[in-house]
Amino acid sequence: MKEQLSKIRDEAKNELKKALDSRILEELRVKYLGKKGVVKEVLGKLGEMSEDTRKEIGRFANEIKDEIGKLFEEASLSIEKSLKEAKLRSGVADISIPQSVPPMGFSHPLTLVTEKMVNIFKSMGYAVEDGPELEEEYYNFDALNIPPYHPARDDHDSFYMGKGKLLRTHTSPVQIRTMKNKKPPLAIIVPGRCYRRDASDATHSPTFYQMEGLVVDKGLSFADLKGTLLLWAKMMFGEKTNIRLRPDFFPFTEPSAELAVTCPVCHGPGCGVCKHTGWVELMGCGMVNPVVLENCGIDSEVYSGFAFGMGIERVAMVVYGIKDIRFFYENDLRLLEQFVK
């Protein structure tokens, strides 16, 4: 195996000599040092060796890995130097010409919260999925075990755009599309815009953003769901954050629960944000109903899953202490300029 690792190092050295731009360099980095790279592939065989041999080969492999890493650093610096020299040879702009500086834009609070949540779930191994906003009833309701007589399917609650078509009322249809097109195990999040016929007030809007999460695998339990959401809450609001789960009902999960987190503002004693309860309700969650799994062609006797969904505006209101959801859509610079990156 030492010979194999040394050969990999020599091959990397030869290929890096031919790397002329950063795109090729990145491709080579993935090839040699990526999660599925050749070095990782060799390291994956260490478990088959005796303990003494494993320690010896492990040390040697780490030395080779570090050496290859340094080769990539040197190649990167060389490419950067070549680009600077080429730029100097081509000349520079006339610095005597006045240059107008455009005004700095502001990051929207919903964008900041979405990016943070996406990064948290990505760090847990989740993939990001997307789907159409103009959705079919089947994906939005039928496959999610929402019956025809459910109030959410009435005209006064949903925006219908013709027979069998509507603006999606949640991001859950993407779960169905993913489960139908990909085989488990699955771990996805779905951030996106949704629409409902809600009257606009301090806590409701006819258009809003949600983030949905879905995990499907063998042997999942409610404990996995609880552990995932507790970790998310601590990464989102701080290490001292705790969660509370109360029974609830959703057609697409069974059992279902409502999740609340300890108030990020007062941390328990009570304040205006948590209505003096010490808790802030954030999302619905639960184990995926076996009917939903079967609707997607997944054997519910073999696989189980859990799902959760939260309003991004609701999370942002808690994080930033914003009391009216309408502030997010008024584009008032006095609000937006507080969120400069």
Q: Which amino acid is located at 154 in the chain?
A: D
**Residue 86: its pLDDT value, please?**
81
272 contacts: CB under 8 Å, gap ≥ 6: none
pLDDT of residue 113: 93
pTM of the shown model? 0.66
| Percent of the chain with pLDDT strictly greater than 90 | 47
Place 340 in a pLDDT band, splitting at 50, 70 and 90: low
Mean pLDDT of 250-264: 92
Confidence of residue 273 (pLDDT cuts 50, 70, 90): low
Looking at the chain, the whole-number percentage of residues with pLDDT higher than 70 is 95
Q: How many CA atoms lie within 13 A of 317 on its CB side?
A: 23
User: What's the pLDDT at 192?
Assistant: 95
Low-confidence winner among 4-13, 263-272, 293-302 (lowest mean pLDDT): 263-272
Supply angle C-alpha 144, 245, 116, rounded to 5.
75
H/E run at residue 141? none
Q: Largest Cα–Cα distance in the chain?
A: 74
pLDDT at 54: 74
Using CA atoms, how far residue 335 sits from 26, 102, 112, 186, 319, in Å, is 40, 20, 14, 38, 14
The CATH T-level fold of domain 109-339 is BirA Bifunctional Protein; domain 2 (3.30.930)
Question: Helix 222-237 vs helix 109-123: angle between axes, to the nearest 10 degrees?
Answer: 130
Show Cβ contacts of residue 333 under 8 Å, excluding neighbours closer than 6 positions: 106
Angle at 199 between CA 171 and CA 168, to 5 degrees: 20
- Cα separation of 172 and 213, whole Å? 9
| Phi, psi (degrees; rounded to nearest 5) at 106 | -120, 140
Hey, what are 166's tokens? 């509507």
Helices vs. strands in the chain: H and E counts, helices first:
11, 9
Q: What is the pLDDT of residues 91-144, one digit of tens each?
A: 766 667 677 776 677 788 999 999 999 999 999 999 999 999 999 999 999 999
Which residues neighbour 24 within 8 Å (Cβ) at sequence distance 6 or greater? Answer: 18
DSSP letter for each residue of 282-330: EEEEEEEPHHHHHHTT--TTT-EEEEEEEEHHHHHHHHHT---GGGGGS
Contact 338, 316 (CB under 8 A): no
The domains of the chain are located at 2-90, 109-339
